[in-house]
Amino acid sequence: MPSRTKPAFITCVALAGAAAIMYALISGCGIQADGAGDDTDKKKGPTVALPVRTTVAKGGVVVEALSVQGRLEVWRHELLTVQAAGIIGQLPFQSNQSVKAGDVIAQLSPTPEDEDGEARSHAKLERARRDLMRRENLAKSAPETISSIDLDAARDLLADAVLDQAMYHERQIKRRMVAPFDGVLINLTGTVGQRVDAGFLIGEVLDTSRYRLGLDVPETNLRRMKDNQAVEITALADGVVADGVISILPHAIDIVKGSGHVLVDIAKPPSSWRPGGFVTARLVLGTTAADLVVSRDSVLFRENRPYVWVAEEHEGKLVVRRAWVEQGPGDPSRVSIIKGINPGDQVVTEGMSGLSDGLPVVLRTDEVSAAAALPHGVEPAK
C-alpha cells in the first residue's frame, strides 16, 4: 500500500522552491523587506540649506485697533419745496449733479390767476397814487374843498395797493429756488411747463462739505473709546484716507446686536468722496508696550497652536527650531509674544515653507545672495 506522506513532502519542497524564486525576483527588482534599507538610508546625500530671512526678536509697541465698515452720511441736508404755486420755467440741473451755494435749482413763473391778479393790483396802485396826488393838490389850492378825512382815506387806499403789490412780488421771489450750500442735488422732480402747488418737493440738496459715519461697535470695545477720539477713515472705492473724530458715544446697547451706535464726524473729506460710499473706520482701542514683538506673518499655527521658526547655531551650522509661543495683544502687522522665545532670537520671517526642526538654513539678504548660496539648479525659496 503506497505511503500518504510522500505527496505532502513533495508539496512542501515545491512551495519552498517557489518562495526562493520569488525572493530572488524581488531582490533583483530592488524591492527590500522592512529594515533592509537601513544602510541605504544612512548613505543619503547632504541636505540643502534653505534660504530664509530673519528678524531679531525685540521689544516694541503694538496698537490694538478695530476696523468697522460703514456708509458715508451727510452732515446736513435740505429739502427744496415750492413756497408759492406756479409753473416750472427752468430746471438748470439734473439729479445727482454737484451744485454751489446760490445756484438756481428751479425758477417758476406765476400762474395765470396770479398774473391777472398782479395786473389788477398794479392798476389799483396807480389809481390810488393819482387819487392821493389829486386830493393833496386840492388841499393846497382849495383847502375848503377837501377834508382831512378824505386825505387819510386816500392814503389808506394807496397803502393797501402797495401791500398787494408787495405780496405778489414776494410770491415771485419764493418761486426762485436756489442751493442753500455747496453739495449734491438729488431726487429732482418736475418738468418744465408743469404747474405745481405750494408744498411740491422739487428736490434735495446734500451738504458734502463734511460727513458723518454711523458705526455699530461691539459692547466690549465701546469701553475703550472716548469722545473726540481720532479715527482713520479709508474709502473702499479709491483707498483715499481722511481723519475723523468720535462725536457721539452711545449710552445704550442694542440688546439684539449686543453693540452700540457710534457717530464719527469727518470735517474735511476728500473731494472724491460721495454720500453713501463705503468706508472702513480704524478705531484705536489702546497701545501696548511689550518686551517681545514679532511680525504677524511670522506666526504660524498647527492644530490652533501658534509657533514661530527660530534660526540658531547648532554644531557649527545654522538650523531652525520650532518654538511654540503664547501671543499677547497685537495689531494687523505685529503681535506681542508673552513666552516661547527670548530677546535676540532670530525669528524667520520669510521662507517658512518646507522648514522642519533641525533643518539647515542660510540667511538671505536679497535674491542675488540667496541664489548664490544654493547649489546649481536649485531655485531660492519664494
SS3 per residue for the chain: CCCCHHHHHHHHHHHHHHHHHHHHHHHHCCCCCCCCCHHHHCCCCCCCCEEEEEEECEEEEEEEEEEEEEEEEECCEEEEECCCCEEEEECCCCCCEEECCCCEEEEEECCHHHHHHHHHHHHHHHHHHHHHHHHHHHHHHCHHHCCHHHHHHHHHHHHHHHHHHHHHHHHHHHCEEECCCCEEEECCCCCCCCEECCCCEEEEEEECCCEEEEEEEEHHHHCCCCCCCEEEEEECCCCCEEEEEEEECCCCCECCCCEEEEEEEECCCCCCCCCCCEEEEEEEEEEEEEEEEEEHHHCEEECCEEEEEEEEEECCEEEEEEEECEEEEECCCEEEEEECCCCCCEEEEECCCCCCCCCEEEECCCHHHHHHCCCCCCCCCC
Q: Which grid cell is 50?
A: 534653505
CA distance 276 to 269: 13
The residue type found at 167 is M
The pLDDT of residue 121: 86
The pLDDT of residue 141: 87
Give the contacts of 135 (CB within 8 A, at least 6 positions apart). 146, 150, 151, 154
The pLDDT of residue 2: 44
CA distance 206 to 138: 61
The pLDDT of residue 64: 85
CA distance 355 to 43: 22
Q: Which grid cell is 300?
A: 504660524
Q: Which grid cell is 194?
A: 408743469
The pLDDT of residue 168: 86
CA distance 164 to 49: 100
Pair 94, 103: CB distance under 8 Å: no
Q: pLDDT tens track of the chain, all 382 residues? A: 444 444 443 333 344 444 444 443 334 433 333 333 334 344 444 568 899 999 999 999 888 888 999 999 998 999 999 999 999 999 999 999 999 999 999 999 999 988 888 888 889 899 989 988 988 898 888 888 888 898 889 899 999 989 988 888 888 899 999 999 999 999 999 999 999 999 999 999 999 999 999 999 999 899 889 999 999 999 999 999 999 999 999 999 999 999 999 999 999 999 899 999 999 999 988 888 889 999 999 999 999 999 999 999 988 899 999 999 999 988 888 899 999 999 999 999 999 999 999 999 999 865 444 444 444 444 544 4
Pair 84, 108: CB distance under 8 Å: yes
The pLDDT of residue 370: 42
Kindly report the CA angle at 176 between 175 and 181, in degrees rounded to 5? 135
List residues bridging with 278 in a β-sheet.
71
End-to-end Cα, the chain, rounded Å:
83
The pLDDT of residue 366: 57
The pLDDT of residue 19: 44
The pLDDT of residue 49: 87
Polymer length in residues for the chain: 382
**Is the CA virtual torsion 73, 77, 80, 81 positive or negative?**
positive
Residue 322 buriedness (CB in 10 A; 0-12 / 13-18 / 19+): middle
Pair 309, 322: CB distance under 8 Å: yes
CA distance 214 to 231: 12
